[in-house]
Amino acid sequence: MSLGRYLLSFPTTIFSNGLTRFSICRGFAGKWPICIATQTEGRASILENLTDTAIYSKVVCAVQEMNQAFESTTLMDMYTRVAKAIREVDPNHILFLEHSYFSNPGVPSGIQRITYADGTTDEKLAYAPHGYDLVVDTKAYTNASNARVGYLFDHTHRTSKRLNMPMLVGEWGAFHGMDDSFVDQTLFIMEKFESYKCGQTFWAHYQGIENYPFFQAMIRPRPIEVAGTIESFKYDQQQNTFTCSWVEDGKVQQPSTFFLPGVSNADDLDISLSPEGDGFKIKLRESGPGAILSIESLEGNPLRELSIRF
């Protein structure tokens, strides 16, 4: 069946600057806005306009209704059937839910928590979104927009809060090359993830990733496990300083541990901890460069604050 049979209405212009017109057509018998039509003298002009998140939001949200209808019905029905089968043999492990492909560039997701036929909800769930700029896997990827990427990951963060589920970004990056722009993108995205206090997994389908400049930007100090609830953590690359604050749970007797990359001599570190308690221990890793910082927990629920200058 031809595409023309589906496109039954005239496009609505999202923006026009005299050189470029970016439009949305309605498809599926006029029901869903799914087709993007452009009349342009250059793709660069389109991408420049789409760095404006107000414009970009209009574009990606044009398919929001369609996407959320699919996710809340077909996708969630499948997730529920699979989860039910898993729980029959494994009641303990966490199930990771991903949004649909359309949410990868920032279309707001409509996935829900898994609810079974008897009305009970699965309590062991995590959100594992994928996220990429719209020019991923093209020659224009060196011109990816931090504004667009920030927009899309902010949406995933809001979705995790709506679902009340921890977030582990299941895919991001896909950078491949020596261009310095990938370093800038990596630093921006890693700072975003730190602000969300989420986990992440970089996607790369090739060998030798450690030889690319952006790889070093991913090697950052971070909490491994904390005896309480993390308030915030951040690595400032320019100041070469790591900070973390957390509220301890007096019932947890295990220490809080942190990964410190690139450390070969603990005496080179300037560490401040408040309240200090019994202090801390640093153990150099045997399997590679770096060290593990261990901080014993305190009684009660104190706010602990850690600052490390490398």
Give the confidence band of 41 by pLDDT, cuts at 50, 70, 90.
low
Contact 113, 121 (CB under 8 A): yes
pLDDT (tens digit, 9 = 90+) per residue, 53-75? 999 999 999 999 999 999 999 99
Beta strand ranges found along 174-309 (DSSP E):
199-200, 222-225, 228-236, 241-248, 256-260, 270-274, 280-284, 291-295, 303-309
- All structural domains of the chain, each given as residue ranges with its CATH number in brackets, are 1-49 (no CATH), 62-218 (3.20.20.80), 221-310 (2.60.40.1180)
- Tell me the three-class secondary structure of 216-232, residue by residue: HHHCCCEEEECCEEEEE
DSSP β-ladder status, 95-97 and 291-295: unpaired
Q: With pLDDT > 70 as the criterion, what percentage of the chain qualifies?
A: 86
- Helix and strand numbers, DSSP H then E, in the chain: 8, 15
Q: Indicate if the pLDDT at residue 39 is higher than 80.
A: no
Residue 34 is predicted with a pLDDT of 42
- What distance, in Å, lies between the first and last C-alpha atoms of the chain? 62
Question: Could you tell me the two tokens for 283?
Answer: 């153990």
Residue 6 is predicted with a pLDDT of 29
Please give the model's pTM, rounded to 2 decimal places.
Answer: 0.86
